[in-house]
Amino acid sequence: HGGFGRRGRQRAAYMAIWLLAALVLTVLLYLLSFVAMKGAGRAFQGFGFGPGLRFDWPFVTNGVSLLEEQPGILPAVIGTVWLVIGAVVMAVPLGIGAAVFLTEYAEQGRFTQLVEVATNGLWSTPSIVFGLFGYAFLVPRLGNTKSMLSGMLVLGFMLLPLVVITSREAMKSVPDEYRDASAALGVSRWQTIRSVVLPAAMPGVVTGVILGVGRIAGETAPLLLVFAGGVFLTKGDAPDVIGGFEVDFVMGPPFLDVSNPALFEAGTALPYQLYAIITAGLSGSNIQEPLEFAWATAFVLLLVVLSFYAVGIATRTYFRRKISHE
């Protein structure tokens, strides 16, 4: 009826958008279901509740040890979680602070354009380059050995450009009328940023963090150079970051010496363990079917990444509802 007129073109555009969206979702669901079919059986083997309602998930709660009935990946799961948490703790405050300066304080000109080009370039830099930087610069300065702290810093450097980019765009999208109304009430610039701009931009900032976490959680190349120290670790080798802090009193300022050996030890993570089993062909004598073990590891890695996504989406939803109710 509409032919190739405006109405016909509009309908064709809507149809093309829906078809492309359906195609992307189909590919995504196929990939997820394929990995689930390959790895869910082994991953959930022994899953359930034991005597006294004791929760059992051997593949996730065990390490790789000859003394255990079923080898598991607990050290790799904990290593992945702590690497991501450390990267987020480092990158998010720095990224938001840089975005506030570039958007609200710095004069828009060549300097801000140069920073924008640099951040875009850093975000598109291959991860192996960040790994080489960490190996050449961080490792010699952090005990001259691979460590979790080096891995956190390298992944934080990878996440930082995206946080800066998305935070700047989110702050730019806040209408200037909000700033003008706040200034008309005699509110200082910093109070306006803290009470008006940042809350309004926070959903966009969280979206950028979600996208970045999805990338760094699956990185393997940087970890090979700065963190990976073993594939088949026992349950007792899982990093204890919280319980690893040691506080000693000293005679001179600052009178306290705080250290954490767990941050300066090498370990393993899910993507590195997956790489080692499949690509490098490693298999411990206590893993009878390495390929099946690898598919289960990939499935758990997807669950971990989706868990981070769920936390990020819940945080974004909270800020959106908070804004809509104010």
Answer whether residue 11 is part of any domain: no
Cβ neighbors of 316 (< 8 A, separation 6 or more) are 202, 203, 206, 207, 210
In the three-class reduction of DSSP (H, G, I as helix; E, B as strand; rest coil), residue 278 is classed as helix
Structurally, the chain folds into a number of domains equal to: 1
* Residues 251/209, Cβ–Cβ less than 8 Å: no
* Residues 272/231, Cβ–Cβ less than 8 Å: yes
> Could you identify the residue written with the tokens 């149809």?
15
* Paired tokens of 39: 């790895």
Burial of 105 (0-12, 13-18, 19+ CB in 10 A): exposed
pLDDT value at position 68? 56
Answer whether residue 169 is part of any domain: yes
Answer whether residue 4 is part of any domain: no
Range of the domain at 281: 44-233+264-325
Answer whether residue 246 is part of any domain: no
- Return the CATH number at 128: 1.10.3720.10
Answer whether residue 114 is part of any domain: yes
* Residues 245/258, Cβ–Cβ less than 8 Å: yes
Answer whether residue 25 is part of any domain: no
In the three-class reduction of DSSP (H, G, I as helix; E, B as strand; rest coil), residue 247 is classed as strand
pLDDT value at position 1? 46
* Paired tokens of 193: 């940023």
Helix (H) or strand (E) holding 48, with range, is: strand 48-49
Q: What is the pLDDT along the chain (326 residues), one digit of tens a residue?
A: 445 677 888 888 999 999 999 999 999 999 999 999 999 988 888 888 777 777 778 888 877 665 555 677 888 899 999 999 999 999 999 999 999 999 988 888 888 889 889 999 998 899 999 999 999 999 998 888 899 999 999 999 999 999 999 999 999 988 888 888 888 888 888 899 988 899 889 988 998 888 899 889 988 889 989 988 776 777 767 777 777 666 666 666 665 566 777 888 888 889 988 888 887 665 555 566 778 888 999 999 999 999 988 888 888 888 888 877 66
Answer whether residue 84 is part of any domain: yes
Strand partners for 49: 55
Helix pair angle (290-325, 270-278), 10° resolution: 150
Answer whether residue 13 is part of any domain: no
Give the separation between CA 129 and CA 122, rounded to whole angstroms: 10
CA distances from 60 to 67, 72, 77, 156, 163 (A): 16, 5, 7, 26, 31
DSSP tag of 228: B
